[in-house]
Structure 1
Amino acid sequence: MGTYVVIGIVPLLLIASTILHSVQDYFIEERKKELLSQANVISGQITSYDYMADKEIRDTLEETMLEMSQRHEFRVLVLDSSCFVVYDTGYSDVGKTVLIPEVIEALENKDISRVQENGMVYAAVSIYGSNNTRVGVVLVSDDLQDISDTVSNIAKKGNLILAGLAIIVIIVMVIISQIFTEPIKKMIKVIQKMSEGYFEQRIQVRSQIHNEVVDLALACNQMADQLEKVESTRQQFVSNVSHELKTPLSSIKVLSESILLQEGVPQEMYVEFLHDINSEVDRMAAIINDLLTLVKLDQKEIPLNFKETDLSEMTEGIIKRLLPLAQAKNIQINYDKTKEVSAMVDEMKLTLAVANLVDNAIKYTPENGKVQVNLDGDHQNAFISVSDTGIGIPDDEVGRIFERFYRVDKTRDRETGGTGLGLSITHSTIMMHNGSIKVHSKDDEGTTILVRIPLRQNI
């Protein structure tokens, strides 16, 4: 508020001071011109009547000069060429010698009007005699007290106006500061609550005017939404990890107890149970390995080894490795490439990411279905799309398929195998390549996943 008040009042003070000085300078300049004009009139009369030489005419001219002096309230001195005072309307300097710069300059044929340090104004004009010679000087003097009084009166009235304006400015600035600071104080309280873990806090936006404060409040609410979503995802993730690890642990416990509690168990049953236990341990190890991979990807602990890679050759290699899985379900894999595409990528990690997409397409496509893989590119990006004729994804679940352990078909999670982390790893890998991944799907009609990868990376 103090800043607003200073910004509002200081310019007014500067403007008022500038105007006041301008008015004062204007009055002084006008006074100087007036005195110089009167001095010229007197000098003209003295020259016309040959005042300096004809003593008989002096009385008449002196009466005229005294009248002018009294009427205009200034003082007139007439000096000869020796700076000797011949006449003074104040009568005090007659017979004295006056050597001041203005008189000297006038004798040098330079009319001058100047303000003195003591607040007086001197106007000096030379007097011409016969043969156009300078025979003396008319010196007119006046003080500036009336101008000072006038400017002081203007200043007093101006100060009253400024005081009124200052009060108005302060009131307006107080209101403005309240308008801006109160919402910010509320935002600070909400943010402090969120920092304590209360992510359900929201800032109430009631303003009908869309301004920066409203934008800030909306941004804080969006941040709160994201934090609440992250917290919910974290809790769900912990729950999913617990569930995914609990299932194989429960199986191992049941199998081991069956062996321990039964007597005379045939060796074949021992071997079968141990095989089952080993399978569950392998499943747990796969889950933990995938979790560690995701953590390293999130924390960018896994460096990317970018190099120029032929994406056409990479995609063909992926399809060849997964072709047996497709043939086991009598699924046809078609691969089309619009043109040869090369890009700066980490070949191993991108291969795993794309392989996850093709593997999922095969897993979730019924027998005798089709999987289509396309490769295309432009001058900036490469595009890899994987389409299937599988079970599809409901509209309300499309945005969640990259969540960790999230499965669209909960009833088939054991049949399809995997850890439920493949798409999460794929998503993180694509993001680390500064790319994007989009999903288009309809329930029971199939799914298309489009991956965009920049051809060049800022390494």
Structure 2
Amino acid sequence: MAAVLVVEDNPEHQAVLAEIVRRLGHQVTVAGDGREGLAVALDTRPDLVIADVDMPHLDGIRMCRALRADPVTADVPVVLITGYLPPGDSLLDDTQAAAVVSKPFSVRGLTETLRTVLESAVPGRDDGAFLTGLMQSLDVGVVACDLAGRIVLVNQAVRDFYGEESVDVPLRDWPERFRLKRHDGTPIEPGELPLDRARRGEEVHHADLLAYDRLHRPRWFAVNARPVRDRTGLAIGALAAVHDVTADHHQHQYENCKTEVLKVLVHAWDTARAGEAVLRAISECLGWPHLRLWLVDEMTERLRPAATHTVTGAGAGSGEELAELCWERGELVWVPDAQGGAVPVRSAEKVVGVITFFCADPLETDPALAVLLTGIAGLFGAYLERRRSEELANQLAASIGEYIALVGHELRTPLTSIATYTDLIAESGDETTIGEVRDLLDVIERNNARLRHLVERLLDLAALESGHADLTIGTVDLSAAVQAAVATVTAEAGEPRPQVRTDLPDRLTIPGDQARLRQVAENLIGNAVKYSPAGSTVTVSLTADEDAAVLTVADTGMGIPDNERNRLFARLYRATNARHSGIPGAGLGLALSRAIIELHRGTITLGGGDEGGTIATVRLPRSAP
């Protein structure tokens, strides 16, 4: 668009001249006489001046000479319009006017004259340069092709994504060359590209496209494409605009992932199932092939695998070093080269676990993804806290009822014997001798001793659980303590009894209370001997790994019903088959053993053997906290 100055004192002629300039598509400024026109020209330097010759104050000829005399306007073309000087007059020649138009003039004639002057005298614009600059500055990718599918335009956004060689790749080869797919992962066949469809005359809106950049990172696009037609309406090619919607895709993906994890945690019954289900939900929502949940072993203060999810055919390392690094730092760790990372699981302010993950494609440090993973880890940490609270509440409610019932039973049984035998003695005649009631006194004494032993053990257990009983910590040879316990149990059991076979190292030292650990060994070995038939074998073994010493006591006795195994650690609880066997017991040995082991930061579990019986396993840390 050129800037044109119209200098004309006749208002009607001024209006006509201005309208002709506007119809030619240019900007127009008007002045009412030569003096005003000169001032405007010197101030704005127009691309063209159209001036009447006969004007007051300063005529067109003198105005034109003044323009030529000033360096700023010396080369501005001027078209003079005259009603009394003929076109060849010498006065007009001195003005160096680009054209002279005589009055009266026609609109068509003047229009053609002005168009010719503007095209020859005013520098033209290179619309192609403007278009090229626009294309290269757009963030949106633009690709164009001709009707034969030859690429004729690839803007900088597309070149940055695919590389400079994308210009030379025929359209039919793009799906295979650049691994183009739909958003659901299904491949796009040759001829199905939005640009191909537009080349065949179709207008395409928001077609989905999944592509991988030169670093093999996935990107999601929405593509609009349409045919390109010439002025006659004939199709000459097609043009596609490629909008990057990766951020929107990830946002939807992340929201869906969080929703699925919440659903899992609402319905999960235990930690193991919750861990597996959470990992599976993340894998399915984000397309990650391998994830693992690590939880801190309270005894050894080491990370242990708690759940794993691996897509069939996917291979990945254990991720142990990555989990350890995340645990130590207490923050999200990205490992782009390994296409994975790890996020800490917190319970309150303490890191209680880690989730490691590995991806099929290169991983970017996306802030939104970091927020998602941290949020999921936080949800799982809160789930662990809630489950722990629920378990403790359930155990407390159950144990209170059981404790009241069991204490009543264990106290009433010996008290009944003491009371009834005392009544028998009281009802005996005065002539009855001590020898005649001695057997009755023995029963009273035996039940009195039973009550005293029961109370002492209950007080001991209460002191251990409340923290009022202190441990005497030193270096304990656990092998020697177990060997001594075996000797004590076998001596008290007498004959006939099961055979006790030991598999113990010469020496295995751990930090602990020697007397209390020997008490545990005697309880476990004593139970195994007590509830196993004569002639059977009780196996006592002691092994060690890097972190813990492991004591195992296995028997082939009556075993424990599966639904009662976890309840045996409650005070005074005895399995139903043991209570009805006639074998004496108070149901305190395992409760005391667990309290002692937990004070040593260890664990104790009960399991069943392949051929029946019971296997008790104790793990104790080999190093002090």
The normalised TM-score by structure 2 is 0.39
* Structure 1 residues 428 and 438: CA distance shift in structure 2, 3 A: same
Q: Kindly report which structure 2 residues correspond to 1:12-411, keeping only aligned pairs within 5 A, or say none.
A: 64-65=38-39, 220=386, 223-263=389-429, 264-338=431-505, 340-409=507-576
Secondary structure class of the residue paired with 1:358: helix
More moved, 248-257 vs 221-230: 221-230
For the residues of structure 2 that align with 1:358 and 1:253, how far apart are their CA atoms?
A: 34
Secondary structure class of the residue paired with 1:373: strand
Larger RCO (CA under 8 A, 6+ residues apart): 1
1:448 to 610, 615, 625: 615
More moved, 403-412 vs 315-324: 403-412
Higher strand share: 2
For the residues of structure 2 that align with 1:217 and 1:369, how far apart are their CA atoms?
A: 45
* Structure 1 residues 414 and 283: CA distance shift in structure 2, 3 A: farther
Residues 62-108 of structure 1 deviation map (CA, whole Å, 9 limit, x = unaligned): 87336777999xxxxxxxxxxxxxxxxxxxxxxxxxxxxxxxxxxxx
The normalised TM-score by structure 1 is 0.52
1:436 aligned partner = 603
Contact 2:554–2:609, Cα closer than 8 Å, also in 1: no
Higher helix share: 1
For the residues of structure 2 that align with 1:453 and 1:290, how far apart are their CA atoms?
A: 23
* Structure 1 residues 220 and 440: CA distance shift in structure 2, 3 A: closer
Residues 206-242 of structure 1 deviation map (CA, whole Å, 9 limit, x = unaligned): xxx9987986589647634541331121111111111
Contact 1:339–1:376, Cα closer than 8 Å, also in 2: no
For the residues of structure 1 that align with 2:624 and 2:401, how far apart are their CA atoms?
A: 35
* Structure 1 residues 450 and 224: CA distance shift in structure 2, 3 A: closer
For the residues of structure 2 that align with 1:402 and 1:328, how far apart are their CA atoms?
A: 29
Contact 2:481–2:517, Cα closer than 8 Å, also in 1: no
The runs of 5 or more residues in structure 1 that have no matched partner are 1-58, 73-179, 188-208
For the residues of structure 2 that align with 1:410 and 1:246, how far apart are their CA atoms?
A: 21
Residue identity in the other structure for 1:453: L
Secondary structure class of the residue paired with 2:517: helix
* Structure 1 residues 433 and 386: CA distance shift in structure 2, 3 A: same
Contact 1:336–1:374, Cα closer than 8 Å, also in 2: yes
For the residues of structure 2 that align with 1:69 and 1:297, how far apart are their CA atoms?
A: 101
Secondary structure class of the residue paired with 1:372: strand
* Structure 1 residues 413 and 430: CA distance shift in structure 2, 3 A: farther
* Structure 1 residues 414 and 273: CA distance shift in structure 2, 3 A: farther
For the residues of structure 1 that align with 2:570 and 2:440, how far apart are their CA atoms?
A: 33
Percentage of matched positions with identical amino acids: 27
The runs of 5 or more residues in structure 2 that have no matched partner are 1-32, 47-258, 267-280, 283-374
* Structure 1 residues 347 and 222: CA distance shift in structure 2, 3 A: closer
Shift of 1:317: 1.1
Cα RMSD of the aligned pairs, angstroms, is 3.4
Shift of 1:401: 1.6
Residues 368-411 of structure 1 deviation map (CA, whole Å, 9 limit, x = unaligned): 11111111112221111111121111222222221211112456
1:420 to 584, 587, 595: 587
* Structure 1 residues 271 and 382: CA distance shift in structure 2, 3 A: same
Residue identity in the other structure for 1:257: D
Residue identity in the other structure for 1:356: N
Residue identity in the other structure for 2:594: H
For the residues of structure 2 that align with 1:435 and 1:222, how far apart are their CA atoms?
A: 18
For the residues of structure 2 that align with 1:350 and 1:364, how far apart are their CA atoms?
A: 22
Residues 402-447 of structure 1 deviation map (CA, whole Å, 9 limit, x = unaligned): 1211112456468432321011000111111111112221598211
